[in-house]
Each structure stands twice: as structure tokens, then as C-alpha cells.
Amino acid sequence: MVKTITEENLRALIDALLAEGKRVVGPHRESDVILYAPLGAGSDFAADELPRRSAKETLFPLCESILTYERGKDGAKITDVEPDRFPETVLVGARPCDAAGAPILDAVFSWDYDDPFYLERRRRTTVIGFACTAADSACFCTAVGLAPDATKGSDLFLTPLEGGGYRCEAPSAQGEVLLGAHAGLFAERTAAEPLPPARPAVDGFDLPRLKAWLDAHFEDPLWAEIAARCAGCGACAFLCPVCHCFDIVDEGGENRGARRKSWDACGFGKFTNHASGHNPREIQPQRFRNRVMHKFKYYDDKFGQTLCTGCGRCIRCCPVGIDLVEVLEQIQAEG
Amino acid sequence: MCEAGKNIYLPHLATIEEITQETADIRSLRLVFQDERVREDFTFRAGQFAEYSAFGAGESTFCIASSPTRKGHIECCFRAVGRVTGALQSLEVGDTIGVRGPYGNSFPIEEFYGKNLVFVAGGIALPPLRTVIWNCLDLREKFGDITIVYGARTENDLVYKRELVLWQERPDVRLVRTVDPGGDGPDWDGQVGFVPNVLGEAAPSAENSVALVCGPPIMIKFTLPVLEKLGFADEAIYTTLENRMKCGLGKCGRCNVGNVYVCKDGPVFTAAQVKAMPQEF
């Protein structure tokens, strides 16, 4: 089913969803930065460029309570957070590299044990993807098998049209339901041509070849060389749409407080530190290696997917200028 | 595997029924689940671990140190070294703690039926073997000879001292205790020497035997060649890996050794499996 929707009606759709009591998250301009954030009205929607941070926090918040505890004279008591009460959410304007994150993260949060905090949000979230018509020098979705017009992870998918408005596809049944419920805001397909998709400058990686090198080179001088500059700040992991390491900590006093799940990063020095003081990943190159291995080997070994959508945020944000594309090109040249 | 929407991070509440101060900073807790249904339904296998919480401090990972053949309670054993273990140490009999689990794989006890067992442990690493030892002693007729080699730096650093006495008194167990040179008190009647050397002198037969080894990395490193010399194949040697964990459920991304998740694929591994892993533990 392919329809069109005007700019004005897209904003009206956001207002209608808000009026239904749904949480609507989308790109929002906050001073000079665009971030995915809860929108208060359709007029807040600002899809001018790739948001600074990924959309993963819509499904996997930076920090959330997983239980609360109270300690009194007659022992301790805990209260469940009841993840089945999360609000119905529409993520509108998700770029293809962000929308594609969810189907990748589904694997880790649903294997063997179901993580309800992620999965219940995911079940209640409809994603309206948004094609990219411009790329910057850090974009490399095409190099990892995605594309600026890839609909992976989107329930509805918008492509800007010449002369304004959007073409709207419904890649999933959930998208068709949303479209059907607001049919009056959509029109039949017109003759207007979609704007051509963005063209990231990076050539496609040979992912099986990359992985074959990683399979054989846990120990390699290359790791020390490429990670020499890494400061272990973790910014790459925090901005990544698919990095998902987390910590579990109690916050509050002895008598009452909350247990929280919060983002963590394998680049941090204490991440794997044992109580004894022994640390299996003692130096930064070992930690950097884990990040690359997890993305291009371990996640593939376990779930048959690459843990990277090519959004390029790790390249844009790195304070010491480490460029993952250069790293992968170097590895590809070795292999 | 679990009910849709169920909070997998929610611990069971348990009451501390008994505390044993094993050494100056190592403590054992005997725990009874507060919910009657959990008390009846909670089952585990020897080798599995749990996340134990002191509310307000957080969670810590230890093996379940009691035997699955002993119902009605579980036990854990820990050294107070950090924030959570320090808080656990400050709890008293009757206090409440949280327990999530059991998680991970276990020792394939049924595959050991009819075989001789050699346990080798050092220091605070006796608990993950103590669960297996009692499990096997409670099914004693199913196994051949049982040898236990256990050592610590000093006499005072040995844990489960009262049970060492019980094992020593049993005619169907051969217990060899050892302390490092200089670690013996005036009444010490065990061996003096490093565990791998004492194991070599005790020389248990590898014929129809399996060895279970837990200890500090340096002890394991020197024990494996001794076992090999005695004739044990890498597939007949079992150990546990103890990487740092948070979730215990294969999600939080911290305990992996290469692509092996210690919380899901372990913590029990054969020496053959460990040797195939990258050096990241």
C-alpha cells in the first residue's frame, strides 16, 4: 500500500496521535541540536538532519528503574515496576540507521530470557521511518548492508517528494493499521517523484571477509595500533543505535530507593574488573578490540547479524578522531 | 522461556537463617526463601550461580554453594571486598536479601556416574566444588573413589573447616589438605606445599576418572600440567570461569570471553573448552 501525505497532514497526524494519548517521539530541535525527544505537538517535528543521538532510548532508556525497595523493621520489601504498563508509542521520523536498530536489538533482548523492559516497549511502539536524502562524510549505512531508503524496522516509511510532502509505504501490518486508522490524512499516490536517496561515500564492506579476519586475529598488533588513541570515554557506545551493554545499580538510601538498569560501555576501564582486582581487559586496546569484535563477529556468531547500522555517530563524536570506517578498511586490507 | 512481560530482574526474597564466619573476611550465609511456593519450587543444579542482593548496595554474583540434594534452603559464600559484599557482610540473622537465579550451566553429574572423582580447590574457590562434593556424597554409591585436594595460604584461610573434618572422618573420601609453607599453625596435621605440587604427590589415578578444579588463575595454570602428567585428558577436567557479571541472563554484555558468554555458556567448562578460548579471563 503506497499513499502520500502532505507536510501539514504529517504534523496533523502527530497531533491526532497525541490526542489519542499516545507518546510520540520524533526529531525535535533543542537550541542548535536535533534530538529524538517526546513531541508536544506536530509543530515540534524537525526532520532536517540526522539527530545527534540515536533513537534507541525510545526502547531502551539511558537509565530506568527495574524495582524499588524499602527496608524497615520487619525486613525488606520490593515493588515491581510492571513493564506491561508502558505507554503506546509512535516513533516518527526515525532515520533508516535508527529504525534498523530495533530488529537487531530484538535478538539479544529476547534470546532465552525475555527482557520485558525492552520488549514491552518494543511491542507498544510503531515506527515511522524517514528516508535520508542527504548524507555527511561519516554516514556509511550502505557499507554495512543498509541504505538511506531501507525500510528495515519501519512500520510506515516516508520518502520526501519533489515539491514537498511524502510518499508513504506500509512495510508492516502494524503500519497498515496506523495508516488505516488515520486514512483521512493520507491521499492516493500522485505523479510527484520521490527525492533521490542520499549517497554515502563509503564503499560496501565485504562483511564475511572482515569477519573471517576477526575470527583469526584476536591477537594482532593491529589492535594496539588502532586503539592507541582511544581515551575510553564511551561516547561511541552511548550514541550507537545498537550498543546495549548495561549496568545494574541500587540508587537511594539504605531504607528506600530503586534498582536501576543504566547504559554502560565495554570501553570503560572498570567494565570487566573483578572483585579481586584482576581485570581480563586491562588495557584500552583489549577493550577497543571487544567493541569491534562484538559488532562484527560475536553478534554475528550468536545471532547472525552485524551489530552496526552505519549511522556514523561514533565517527562524528569521537574526541580523538577514531574513524570506524578507517578501522574496518584497515582490517579489510589486512584480510 | 518466561511469562510475557514478567520482570526477569526481580529477585526472590530470602531470610538469612544462619551465618558462618569462615575466615576473617569470608562468610557463608544459609538462606530460606520467604515465599512458600518458591521454597518448594526452587531447584538448581550443582555449578549454577545466582545474583545475591543487599538492597541499597546492589547485586553480586556467587555460585550456589549448597548441594541441590539438600532441600529447603540454599547457601552462598563470599569474601567482603567491595560495596555489595561489604553490605552483605553487615547483614544479620533474620535480615532479608534478594536472590535471582539459578543461572548458567552446571556440572554434568550424571556423566560422572561410575567414575572416580578428583576435586582440586584453592582458597575461596572451594564453594563451587563443595556443592558438587555434597551432591556426590549424597549419592555416594554412584561414584568410584573420591579424592579432594584443598589448600589455602594459611590454616586460617581454609573455608568450611567443620566440613573438612567430616570429609576426613569418612572412610569413603580421601581428603588431602595443604597450606603454603609458613601457613601452618602449631596443631596443623595436613600437608605443607602449593596445591599443584601436593596434587602431584597425592597422584590420584586418571583411570576412569574426572578432575574438577577451582581456584585462583595461577593455581589452575599450574594444576593443569600436573593433571595432564597424571594422564587426565582435557575433556576429563572441569573448571568454572568467574568473569564479572551483572545480569546473569546473557544481555548486559560484560562476562564474555571472546564469543563465549560465561553466564549462559558457562560457568562450567572443560579444560579443552577453556584452552580453545581467547586469553580474556
CB neighbour list of residue B169: distance below 8 Å, 6 or more residues apart: none
Residue A200, domain member (yes or no): no
Residue A194, domain member (yes or no): no
Residue of B9, B216, B243 with shortest CB distance to A248: B9
Are A162 and A24 within one domain? yes
Question: Helix (H, G, I), strand (E, B), or coil: what is residue B208?
Answer: coil
B247: nearest CA partner in chain A: A248
Are A183 and A223 within one domain? no
- Average the pLDDT over A195-205 and give the result: 92
What is the pTM for the complete model shown? 0.94
CB contact under 8 A, B281 and A257: no
CB contact under 8 A, B55 and A247: no
CA neighbours within 13 Å on the CB side: how many for A286? 18
Are A146 and A244 within one domain? no
DSSP code per residue over A125-180 = EEEEEE--S---TT--GGGGT--TT--TT-SEEEEEBTTS-EEEE--SHHHHHHHH
Which of B10, B242, B251 would best serve as a mutation to test chain A binding (most A beta carbons within 10 A)?
B251
Residue A73, domain member (yes or no): no
Distance in angstroms (rounded) separating the CA atoms of residues A184 and B152: 77
Q: Per residue in A39-86, pLDDT tens? A: 999 999 999 899 999 999 999 999 999 999 998 888 899 999 887 789
Are A224 and A327 within one domain? yes
Residue A68, domain member (yes or no): no
B87: nearest CA partner in chain A: A254
**Residue B279 C-alpha from the chain's centroid:** 22
CA distance B106 to chain A (A): 17
Q: What region does A190 belong to: left with phi over 0, alpha with psi -120 to 50, or beta?
A: beta
CB contact under 8 A, A248 and B258: no
Are A279 and A146 within one domain? no
> B66: exposed, middle or buried (C-beta count within 10 Å: 0-12, 13-18, 19+)?
buried
Pick from A253, A49, A68: nearest CA to A133: A49
Pick from A317, A261, A306: nearest CA to A117: A261
Per-residue confidence (pLDDT) for residue B1, from 0 to 100: 46
Per-residue confidence (pLDDT) for residue B2, from 0 to 100: 53
Residue A90, domain member (yes or no): yes
Are A229 and A127 within one domain? no
Q: According to CATH, what is the number of the domain B109-240?
A: 3.40.50.80
Are A148 and A226 within one domain? no
B280: nearest CA partner in chain A: A280
Q: How confident is the model at residue A275 (pLDDT cuts 50, 70, 90)?
A: confident
Q: Give the N- to C-terminal CA distance of chain A in Å, as an integer.
A: 44
Which regions of chain B are under pLDDT 50?
1
Peptide bond connecting A103 to the previous residue in cis, omega within 30 degrees of 0: no
Are A220 and A141 within one domain? no
Q: Per residue in B33-82, pLDDT tens? A: 999 999 999 999 999 999 999 999 999 999 999 999 999 999 999 999 99
Are A183 and A242 within one domain? no
Are A214 and A175 within one domain? no
Give the residue extent of every domain in chain B. 12-103, 109-240
Residue A162, domain member (yes or no): yes
Domain-ending residue, one of A160, A188, A216: A188
Domain count, chain A: 2
Pick from A125, A57, A133: nearest CA to A91: A125
Q: Determine what percent of chain A is predicted with pLDDT higher than 70.
A: 100
Domain-ending residue, one of A143, A160, A188: A188
Residue of A80, A272, A297 with shortest CB distance to B10: A80
Residue A98, domain member (yes or no): yes
C-alpha cell at B216: 585462583
Q: Per residue in A111-162, pLDDT tens? A: 999 999 999 999 999 999 999 999 999 999 999 999 999 999 999 999 999 9
Which of B55, B90, B241 would best serve as a mutation to test chain A binding (most A beta carbons within 10 A)?
B55
Are A174 and A247 within one domain? no
Residue A76, domain member (yes or no): no
C-alpha cell at A180: 488505516
Q: Count of residues for chain A?
A: 335
Are A97 and A241 within one domain? no
Peptide bond connecting B102 to the previous residue in cis, omega within 30 degrees of 0: yes
Chain B residues with CB under 8 Å of A64 CB are none
CATH superfamily of B12-103: Translation factors (2.40.30.10)
A175 lies in which domain range? Answer: 2-59+82-188
